[in-house]
Amino acid sequence: MASLRIGLAQLDPVVGDLVGNRALVLDAYRRASDAGCDVVVFGELVVTGYPPEDLVLKPGFVRDTRAVLDDIAKETGECIAVVGFVDIGSGEHSATGRPVIHNAAAVCGHGVVHGVYRKRLLPNYDVFDEERTFTPGSGPHHLYEIAGVRVAVSICEDIWYADGPVSEQAAGGAQVNLSLNSSPYHRGKSADREIMLAQRARENACAIAYVNQVGGQDELVFDGGSMLFDASGALVGRLVNFRDGLLVADLDVPAPAKDATLPVTVLSSTSRATGPRRGNEVQPVFTDLAELYEALVVGTRDYVRKNGFTDVVIGLSGGIDSSIVACVAVDALGADHVHGVSMPSRYSSQGSKDDAYALAEALGIDIRTISIEPAFQAYLEMLEPSFSGRPADLTEENLQSRCRGQILMALSNKFGWMVLTTGNKSEMAVGYFTIYGDSVGGYAVIKDVFKTDVFALSRFVNERAGSEVIPEAVLTKPPSAELRPDQRDDQSLPPYDVLDAVLEMYVERDMTAAEIVEIGLPSDVVRRIARLVDINEYKRRQCPPGVRVTEKAFGKDRRLPITNGYRG
């Protein structure tokens, strides 16, 4: 039986930062080499960051990417490095005239690139549109002998299909598959991955080293959770989710039952490993709510910091949405970098003002009060001649929200703070927000979190802290925008448990209103909700990005027309 010391490098690259990503790769490579690794595996497109989107349509960017890859290769020694990058192919696309490029992985060692694997299966669904930019790899597979073990390379989507490249490589003699990934988080995906990978290893009698990146990139957040499986499908190593790190493990590999039928390039015949055996480091997984909360924290932290901001400002209403956003921001950036603003009006209750200050005190963030009354009154007086003879309605409510948006943006401009928007997915879905008002900002932290989950997360925060971080009154009082006397959300919307159930079917599962009614829900409620979702598409298009935590968020993976006459 052979032994292969493998390093899984779980990193947080920045899209487009080729110099910074080069430094990340080389730092991890040196640590893996010093640990005696025979091979260290990095994430998919680690050189460019993922997803690079239309950056790869710039020929200069692709050339620069290759130059960085060559620099990395020159720094390698006996420890083999498998590094994700954008490879230049042959010829041009007939339709666009652009050069052919590939999502690829380079097998580097001894100062050179020994070979390149090009991703065969390109995802073109949900948040992925790789067919738009990349050309799939083709031709015979190739194996590499490292420490006397035959290994193959695959990239992300390649491993998800039972009859895909991984099975072909195993049939051709691969004993270990090195899988490079940039697989974004959504709730439940971590468990799905583990089940799939165990099955893939077991059915092919081939060990799998699965590396996933971590960190946030615009709407996407990557949860890491890199894993190592032996040929029986047993999990023998796992890195913690949402943290960068390097897993070093000694993998026992049974002698091959047959000779390889695929070509093999010999890179090393014996293992470099010395010292005590490394392995069996299987980090525990998060609970569902802990995982969801951590995704929001990591997505927010990386969006703020990777875009050059240090501080954020949040309008604290004393409600549950702004409360959970403030908690996430503090855990992401630290209390000293989070600034709260209470912006009361004539309709704000004393209880809500007190709750905002109690939250700020519990979190240790600064808070200031800026009343919107002077600005709101000025607007009313300015518009009175035009509005004369018309009763107050939604217009005056929206004016208050827009006053608050202007104040937050003024503070952002003056102090360089990013505004964090506090709307949840339930409100985003049905348009229960004011465009150019409470929707202004740089990032929408809970944009993909239903209201019912906001309540669950808020209770989770308090339970985890063992104290009342979010005041109990915030958790128990009826939600209200407080834009008119005695206003409650349930005067304008169905109860949130009903609303969220319909939205989950209509938005995330793409069911029609008629199909939802057939399940047994009231037709008038369902059709009203569906209508609100449809007519507010134009508002959502003008909202800031936010962390994607479900299988279908408002953003990259839900592309419905604004002008839309279908009422299914």
Where in the sequence numbering do the catalytic residues fall?
Answer: 44, 119, 156
The residues, ordered by sequence, that sit 6+ positions from 517 with a Cβ below 8 Å of its Cβ are 523, 526, 527
SS3 annotation, 228-268: EECCCCCEEEECCECCCEEEEEEEEECCCCCCCCCCEEECC
**Token pair for 120:** 């065969």
Give the E-state strand segments of 254-412 in sequence order. 264-266, 312-315, 338-342, 366-369
Q: Is 528 left (phi over 0), alpha (psi -120 to 50) or beta?
A: alpha
**Token pair for 42:** 């990095």
According to DSSP, residue 9 is labeled E
Contact status, residue 100 vs residue 92, Cβ threshold 8 Å: yes
- Give the integer Cα–Cα distance in Å for 173 and 181: 22
- Give the integer Cα–Cα distance in Å for 46 and 238: 19
Contact status, residue 490 vs residue 477, Cβ threshold 8 Å: no
The residues, ordered by sequence, that sit 6+ positions from 359 with a Cβ below 8 Å of its Cβ are 316, 318, 323, 326, 340, 469, 470, 471, 474
Burial of 337 (0-12, 13-18, 19+ CB in 10 A): middle
Residue whose C-alpha is closest to residue 406's, from 515, 315, 542: 315
- Give the integer Cα–Cα distance in Å for 564 and 347: 37
Tokens 């380079």 map to which residue? 106
